[in-house]
Amino acid sequence: MATGKNVEIVLYWIKHGYSCADVAGKLPGVPSAIKSTLTVDPILSDAGRYEATRVSKDDVIQNSGLKDVDAILAADTRRSLETAMYLFDGLLSDNAQKPLIIVPFISEKRSTIAKLTKYDLENMSKGFNKLREYWEENGWNTNNKFKLMSGFDKELMKKLGSESAYTNFVKFILPRVLKKTGKDDISYKIAIVSHDTFISDHLNKAHPRNPTIKNVKDLAVWKEKIETFYNPDDLIFGRNINVTELGNDENDCRPGTVNDKTCQVYPGTEPTDKDDATNYGRCKNVHDVFNSKIFQKYTKSVESTKEKVKNIKLPENVTVPTLSLNVRTGTKTFSRKKKGSTGSKSPTGSPSMEGGDEYYYYKYLKYKNKYNDLKLRD
């Protein structure tokens, strides 16, 4: 019979990458309530896959300790599973094999109404069996770096109480994860790919800071350390779960993000300039909305604006009007006059008649800003 011992567990909380739900969420003229039903359990977009692969090569990530994790956990959604696979495929050595474990309790929060209706389908999991099928259909089961498995069963689910999702995760799931690592030690490192609201809510409640954490960016990494008593024969952590100080691990933290018990290791990303509305091939292959007329109209608008920006010929030595500052709101704006106005210039500057330098400058700004608004960004 195994004997229990005190163990230290470092948790790396990682937000999933840019998904097809994020892409669909940028559709103009579609109510938010409708957008959330367009992509059921969305996959990563082209931008999301590209970013996960790129970030895995980043020096900060390479030196963060993520290469040495004992297990990789993912929420039971396809975008979390794909993020874990693409991020750690670039991190792990070819001869490494890590358990990639699908676990409950760490997905995006869903309201009671959302659970009872077809609202918020983008955050509804299809379950472990469907995730395994998706894994095998894409040939990822042949990748020797990962061993896909589930971290819970029906008997376990019967034991759960009315405690928070995080408490159930730590109390019931983590001890099973430690056992699946096959490691017998007093210290463990676990990577967890989860969702924005779950990560920010947990960190804000358990580790209050000022300002609070809002809108965790794609692929951002936060670090937390806990201590507890672990008995492999019991597989249930007791109430004595202590969040400990990071100590020497503060060297891994970004300046200004250390809060004794947690810190930010990596700030996260946004889609790059090349990952615009026309780069959605993966989404089109899986989600029907990207083959719809409304999305085709949207992408044509983006392409049209891109061409207008490209074809505008700015005269040499364009005069840039002076910015005016609204002291009350802090907003910077350009002063403008009606097209064709020949009145005297205002103190803050105004565009000249059509055909003048400033007219072309404003025309350029108009289409350039529209193009930026149409880009699929957070």
Predicted confidence (pLDDT) per residue in 356-378, tens digit: 555 556 666 666 666 566 554 33
Residues 24, 170, single domain; the answer is yes
Q: Which of 52-66, 91-105, 293-307 has the lowest mean pLDDT?
A: 293-307
97: Cβ contacts below 8 Å, ≥ 6 apart: 144, 145, 146, 147
Reduce the DSSP state of residue 131 to 3 states and report it: helix
Predicted confidence (pLDDT) per residue in 142-195, tens digit: 878 898 888 666 666 666 666 788 888 888 889 989 999 989 899 999 999 999
Whether the pLDDT of residue 315 is over 60: the answer is no
Residues 188, 256, single domain; the answer is yes
Name the amino acid, one letter, at 164: S
Residues 243, 311, single domain; the answer is no
Predicted confidence (pLDDT) per residue in 217-269, tens digit: 999 999 999 999 998 888 778 667 888 888 777 788 888 888 888 999 999 99
Report the number of distinct structural domains present in the chain. 2
In eight-state DSSP terms, residue 292 is S
Q: Does the residue 192 lie in any domain?
A: yes
- Give residue 325's domain range: 304-374
Supply the pLDDT for residue 186: 93
Name the residue among 225, 241, 330 with its Cα closest to residue 6.
241
Residues 111, 226, single domain; the answer is yes
CATH number, residue 63:
3.40.50.1240
Supply the pLDDT for residue 171: 86
**Better-scored residue on pLDDT, 245 or 321:** 245
Q: Does the residue 297 lie in any domain?
A: no
User: pLDDT-based confidence at 55, cuts 50/70/90?
Assistant: very high
**Better-scored residue on pLDDT, 343 or 83:** 83
**Better-scored residue on pLDDT, 298 or 45:** 45
Which of 238, 266, 294 is the C-terminal boundary of a domain? Answer: 266
Residues 67, 210, single domain; the answer is yes
Q: Does the residue 18 lie in any domain?
A: yes
Q: Does the residue 176 lie in any domain?
A: yes
Mean pLDDT of 283-306: 78
Whether the pLDDT of residue 306 is over 80: the answer is no
Name the residue among 95, 100, 94 with its Cα closest to residue 14.
100
Predicted confidence (pLDDT) per residue in 67-96, tens digit: 999 999 999 999 999 999 999 998 988 888
Supply the pLDDT for residue 344: 37
Q: Does the residue 101 lie in any domain?
A: yes
Q: With pLDDT > 90 as the criterion, what percentage of the chain qualifies?
A: 29
List Cα–Cα distances, 141 to 85, 100, 148, 265, in angstroms: 11, 11, 8, 30
Q: Which of 205-214, 286-295, 315-324 has the lowest mean pLDDT?
A: 315-324
Is residue 178 within 8 Å of residue 230, measured between CB atoms?
A: yes
Name the residue among 22, 35, 178, 200 with its Cα closest to residue 106.
200
